[in-house]
Copies of this chain bind each other. A is one copy, B any other.
Amino acid sequence: MSEVYAARRARLRDRCHSSGSATALVTRPANVRYLAGAAPKGAVLLLGRGEDILVCGAPPSGEIGEGRPDEAVRVHVLPSPGGDPAVAAADLATALGAESLAVEEHHLTVGRHRAIRSVAPRLRLADLGGAVEQLRVIKDEEEISCLRIGAEIADQALGELLESILVGRTERHLALELERRLVDHGADGPAFTTSVAAGPNSGRPGHIPTDRRVEEGDFLSVCLGATYRGYRCEIGRTFVIGTSPADWQIELYDLVFAAQRAGREALAPGAAYRAVDRAARQVLDSSGYGEGLPVLMGHGVGLEIDEDPQLAPAAMGKLDACVPVTVEPGVHLPGRGGVRIDDTLVVRPEADGGPELLTITTKELLAL
């Protein structure tokens, strides 16, 4: 793995050089992990001209969840506790002769930026921007393999839940049971707060589980994901409780299913982000559900659950091969409930069989 991390750092170094800053300070935890193999709490990565240094407030714990630092990176632990590793890294950069330092202005607070300026007044501070996030968009096969395993785990957890009795149980209990099953099957943990939404709550994006119990006739929407070796995937399904779905439920389900399929089918290298969004959105729009739709129809996943690209109406850019994204349209009717269907897929060229579906739980409308 060490060559992988070294290659990522080399790519970032190239970008820094071309923008005039030979030295960079990476503070966003997922970016630190991407480049250094590990992100102990509070650690920052100083990308120097020669050496790369992981500056930590305390010794790395070596726990699975935090990753292992790449051996080619020097680990520097602050001698006294309580200091800010970013400030210490700026001090180190000056000592190593750096004249300018590119920082992540979208992550660093004004207060920390000021503290860096005051310990290293001669260092010219520049903006690294989203350079690391951009590198992270296209995944290598190792990363995709972690996502694939995470998706398998989520599918298993969901499948087992569907075999149990659901009526009478609360959203919160079902969510906790799903999270337990994720861990049972080998996840580091849930990728995000598991959402279980019954009855009038169903179909609400990001619904936080409540004490609402599952009842006959409910829509039940579930959204969960596993973290595996740091990589986070996502699956969402909607079911109907009881033997005979109402007509409005079948119609709404078919509509969201059609929108989600249109979104999936639009995934291809070269497709504009907004075109994928539009493909799914216009299905809902043309049936009169244009108001109150989610801001985006999907997003990238990886070391974070919500990363670039955004599949949204105003997003600029085009998909590449090996970009994992979600496609997750939904409709929520206030007071009645709704439907969300959410998959994680990897963009692949037509010649390789088109988009690779990672979350394979059926999308038929199951009556449970």
Binding site for B on A (CB under 8 A): 41, 58, 61, 63-66, 81-82, 103, 105-114, 127, 172-173, 176-177, 179-180, 183-184, 204, 206-208, 210, 295, 312, 314
Identical chains bound together, number? 2
Kindly identify which residue among B103, B107, B180, B208 contacts A180, using a CB–CB cutoff of 8 Å. B180
Chain B residues positioned under 8 Å from A210 (CB to CB): 63-64
* A81-B295 in contact given A105-B111, A110-B108 (Cβ < 8 Å): yes
Q: Give chain B nearest CB distance to A186 CB in angstroms.
A: 9
Q: Is the CB of B111 within 8 A of A109?
A: no
Chain B residues positioned under 8 Å from A41 (CB to CB): 206
How far is it, in angstroms, between the C-alpha of A87 and the C-alpha of B76 when the chains are bound? 37
Nearest chain B residue, comparing its CB with the CB of A201: B63
Q: Give chain B nearest CB distance to A208 CB in angstroms.
A: 5
Q: Give chain B nearest CB distance to A62 CB in angstroms.
A: 10
Chain B residues positioned under 8 Å from A177 (CB to CB): 180
Nearest chain B residue, comparing its CB with the CB of A182: B176
Nearest chain B residue, comparing its CB with the CB of A57: B295
How far is it, in angstroms, between the C-alpha of A81 and the C-alpha of B315 when the chains are bound? 12
The 5 closest A-B pairs by CB, nearest first: A105-B110, A81-B295, A106-B111, A105-B111, A176-B180
Q: Is the CB of A208 within 8 A of B65?
A: yes
Nearest chain B residue, comparing its CB with the CB of A130: B111
Nearest chain B residue, comparing its CB with the CB of A181: B176
Chain B residues positioned under 8 Å from A106 (CB to CB): 109-112
Q: Give chain B nearest CB distance to A141 CB in angstroms.
A: 26
A-B contact pairs, 28 of them (CB 8 A): A41-B206, A58-B295, A61-B204, A61-B207, A63-B207, A64-B210, A65-B208, A81-B295, A82-B312, A82-B314, A103-B110, A105-B109, A105-B111, A105-B114, A106-B109, A106-B110, A106-B111, A107-B109, A108-B109, A109-B109, A109-B110, A110-B110, A172-B183, A173-B180, A173-B183, A173-B184, A177-B180, A180-B180
